[in-house]
Amino acid sequence: MSETSSSATPLSARDAIAQHVNNTTVVSEALESARESASEYGVAVPDTMTGAALTSLMALTSARRDGHPAAVIASPAAGVVGLHLAAGLGDDGVLTCIDPELEHQSLAKSAFRAAGIRPNRQRFLPSQPLEVMDRLAADSYDLVYLDVAPAILRAAQEKAWPLLRSGGALVLTGALLDGTVADSSRTDRDTVAAREADEYMLQLDDAYVMRLPLAAGTTVLVKK
């Protein structure tokens, strides 16, 4: 007797939602090309649901401001992340991309060029995030996106926090390590660092904290 689709393991509710979102979301040619280029270099990129959340969050935070909205991206996937943010940033917004790898910067520049993002709306800093964020102007950004190693999560949060205006958002992708932070038996360096960063951020008095089951567990801090 042949196997039928009815014998397949049913999708979880979350997987079913993700499948529906993926099947019904229109992706631009520029974004699809950026994803493919990132994949060729082994760079992990936000999935469709995470990308939509980034666009909406960018639109919400930048809508509160007069003048030019701005975002910082510290991630090897700056090209894909930047396209999602640019969709919510407006035509006069500026993206600052931080990554020490020139190949990653080249991918981002190609993605932005394909999407028609003007050169004066983008700048690239070829440095490690912890080394360069101090040089950025305080109280000047609407959103900061951090894709950093678990060991430096807290340090990166502390460096990024002064950059945000009131009402701005700090997005720490993968901060919950696919939920392993909740496993007390995990005592490896990365898990302990991520767990301690999570506990620290929950205690911040000047932030609204939102933790989401997106991109391996994303923490969003909104500055009061």
pLDDT-derived band at 7, boundaries 50, 70, 90: low
Joined together, the tokens standing for residue 127 give 């440095």
In a domain, 15, yes or no: no
For 165, the 3-state DSSP assignment is strand
| Predicted confidence (pLDDT) per residue in 15-30, tens digit | 899 899 999 999 999 9
In a domain, 94, yes or no: yes
CA count, 13 A, side-chain hemisphere, 219: 28
- Sequence-separated (6 or more) residues with CB below 8 Å from residue 134: 159
The pTM score is 0.93
Give Cα separations from 167 to 61, 95, 208 (angstroms).
6, 18, 10
Give Cα separations from 25 to 18, 28, 29, 48 (angstroms).
11, 10, 13, 8
Tally the domains of the chain: 1
Mean pLDDT of the residues in the chain = 94
In a domain, 22, yes or no: no
In a domain, 129, yes or no: yes
Closest CA to 96 of 143, 154, 53: 143
In a domain, 35, yes or no: no
CATH code (residue 121): 3.40.50.150
Domain that holds residue 50: 44-217
In a domain, 19, yes or no: no
| Predicted confidence (pLDDT) per residue in 110-143, tens digit | 999 999 999 999 999 999 999 999 999 999 999 9
Percentage of residues of the chain with pLDDT beyond 70: 97
Closest CA to 59 of 156, 167, 147, 159: 167
What integer pLDDT is reported at residue 90 of this predicted model?
A: 86
In a domain, 180, yes or no: yes
In a domain, 8, yes or no: no
